[in-house]
Structure 1
Amino acid sequence: MTKLSGPMLPPRSGTARQLVVLLHGYGADGSDLIDLGRHWRTLLPDALFVAPNAPRRCGGSPFGYEWFPLEVDRIAGRIEGARQAAPVLAEFLSDLWAQSGLGAADTVLVGFSQGAMMALHVGTALPGELAGIVAFSGAFVPADGFAAPAAPRPPVTLIHGDADPVVDPALSRQAADLLAANGFEVTLHISPGVGHGIAPDGLAFATAFLMARLG
């Protein structure tokens, strides 16, 4: 199985007590999101920030990576793509926990776009309950067995620009409804006038969530 790797930022305190895993979007790489870790390091001095490159070289960008290819049928493509990429990400998390001595309860998954889809897909299907999931500009592809009675239900925050031309913001609204209907604690923030990106108001919303879960 492919092993993931990418940039990381050690905890400022010198001791890792929390883990924030940053999952980039289609055609990018780990360095694209590690700046979020730099933004949050001062607030979370005990957090280790890790931003792995996705497992595949991107078909649409020779210098980037993809969690799964973009298909003509985007819905079918992300359902099958997320399922195929999930074991690689789940193994990466298991290895990180084994190496750091941390666990799901100490971990927040943060994803953007395709990375947000992976954060939600894998983060709601792990055997242990995460401290939280932050999904910027994404969509939710439920894993098999989603919301089984004994399944963990980590808190989730969804953030999306209402002018996003790449991933329809309605997909975050649908995700919020589905998660809430299945017993998840969900918050949703829609950034007015924002396209496919992370605006200051969305970043502030995510920061408040992170501080509530890890601070």
Structure 2
Amino acid sequence: MDAGPLVVLLHGVGARGRDLEPLARAIARGLPGARTACPDAPEPCDWDAGTRQWFSLTAVAEEERPARVRAARAGLDRAIGGIVAAEGMSGSLGRVALVGFSQGGTMALDAVASGRWPVAALAAIAGRWSIPAPMRPPGGTRVLLLHGEADPVVPVADAGRAAAALEGAGLAVRVATYPGVGHAIPPRGVAAVVRFLAEALAGEAGTDTAPRPVPGPGSGPGPGGWA
């Protein structure tokens, strides 16, 4: 029997892969047979060596973020590539999805926007749009962007920026924003991710993530870490 689809979840800075395991379990329940993986980012976090980061936020200016994302690509690609290879999915990226929260959402957005990972689906939650040019996204990747409207860490306007850029590059994008939600993954967001992945990976119909207007910028860290 064929193995099920693979979902790789990417945590934020100041967290570990295990912090996204509750979301991974919800995905596994909603997609029977699906496999999930929650890798640790390669670098120790600047302010907590017991947690990890994809790239440093120390003394980072907004204009410097794309360069830091670019520098972090090799570490991300090793993490995703190792999982994909171990699960026997190197030739089946059309049955792979990426889910990222916060800094992990930024890295997942870059993985698709750069064209490096032409996966079936991408769900980015509270991800910052700091993607280096040029963009070369694969045409078949479906995208879901989720964001709390009261996020004090990554402005909700970044979801609108990401949607505009990705739609302009030809991708199908859905956006859902959540009033009163900060930098976190709300229960409604978990349900939306599960339904989106079921539709994208298993052909199941139905989602509550129809596009809605993204407002301008408006708690502590969510379960996957800071941005």
Instruction: Please report the TM-score for the alignment, with normalisation by the length of structure 2.
Output: 0.81
Query: Which is further off, 151-160 or 185-194?
Result: 151-160
Q: By how many angstroms is 1:97 displaced?
A: 2.6
Alignment correspondent of 2:174: 187
Q: By how many angstroms is 1:15 displaced?
A: 6.4
**Corresponding residue to 1:139 among 109, 128, 140:** 128
- 4+ runs deviating over 6 angstroms: none
Q: By how many angstroms is 1:30 displaced?
A: 0.5
Does the alignment pair 1:65 with 2:48? no
Alignment correspondent of 2:186: 199
Query: Which is further off, 166-175 or 65-74?
Result: 65-74
Alignment correspondent of 1:111: 100
Letter matched to residue 45 of structure 1: P
Deviations 1:97-124 (A, max 9, x none): 3222213111110000000000000122
Q: What is the number of equivalent residue pairs in this alignment?
A: 200
Alignment correspondent of 1:155: 142
Letter matched to residue 119 of structure 2: L
Q: Is the 8 A contact 1:110 1:134 kept in 2?
A: yes
Q: By how many angstroms is 1:152 displaced?
A: 4.1
Does the alignment pair 1:172 with 2:155? no
Structure 2 CA distance, aligned partners of 1:42 and 1:198? Answer: 17
Structure 2 CA distance, aligned partners of 1:33 and 1:97? Answer: 18
Q: Is the 8 A contact 1:162 1:192 kept in 2?
A: yes
Structure 2 CA distance, aligned partners of 1:68 and 1:17? Answer: 31
Q: By how many angstroms is 1:18 displaced?
A: 0.9
**Structure 1 runs not aligned, ≥5 long:** 1-13
Does the alignment pair 1:18 with 2:5? yes
Query: Which is further off, 25-34 or 133-142?
Result: 133-142
Deviations 1:78-135 (A, max 9, x none): 2122111112222332332322221311111000000000000012224552111000
Q: By how many angstroms is 1:143 displaced?
A: 4.0
Q: By how many angstroms is 1:186 displaced?
A: 0.4
RMSD of aligned C-alpha atoms?
Answer: 1.9
Structure 1 CA distance, aligned partners of 2:41 and 2:81? Answer: 16
Mark the CA change 1:60 to 1:77 in structure 2 (over 3 Å): closer, same or farther. farther
Secondary structure (helix, strand or coil) at the match of 2:144 reads strand
Structure 2 CA distance, aligned partners of 1:96 and 1:188? Answer: 28
Q: Is the 8 A contact 2:101 2:125 kept in 1?
A: yes
Mark the CA change 1:77 to 1:63 in structure 2 (over 3 Å): closer, same or farther. farther
Deviations 1:31-77 (A, max 9, x none): 10011111121221221111111110001223211111114344234
Identical counterparts, % of pairs: 35
Considering Cα pairs closer than 8 Å and 6+ residues apart, tell me whether 1 or 2 has the greater RCO.
Answer: 2
**Structure 2 runs not aligned, ≥5 long:** 203-227
Mark the CA change 1:31 to 1:74 in structure 2 (over 3 Å): closer, same or farther. farther
Instruction: Please report the TM-score for the alignment, with normalisation by the length of structure 1.
Output: 0.85
Letter matched to residue 147 of structure 1: R
Q: Is the 8 A contact 1:126 1:152 kept in 2?
A: no
Structure 1 CA distance, aligned partners of 2:184 and 2:196? Answer: 18
Letter matched to residue 184 of structure 1: L
Query: Which is further off, 201-210 or 122-131?
Result: 122-131
Structure 1 CA distance, aligned partners of 2:8 and 2:63? Answer: 26
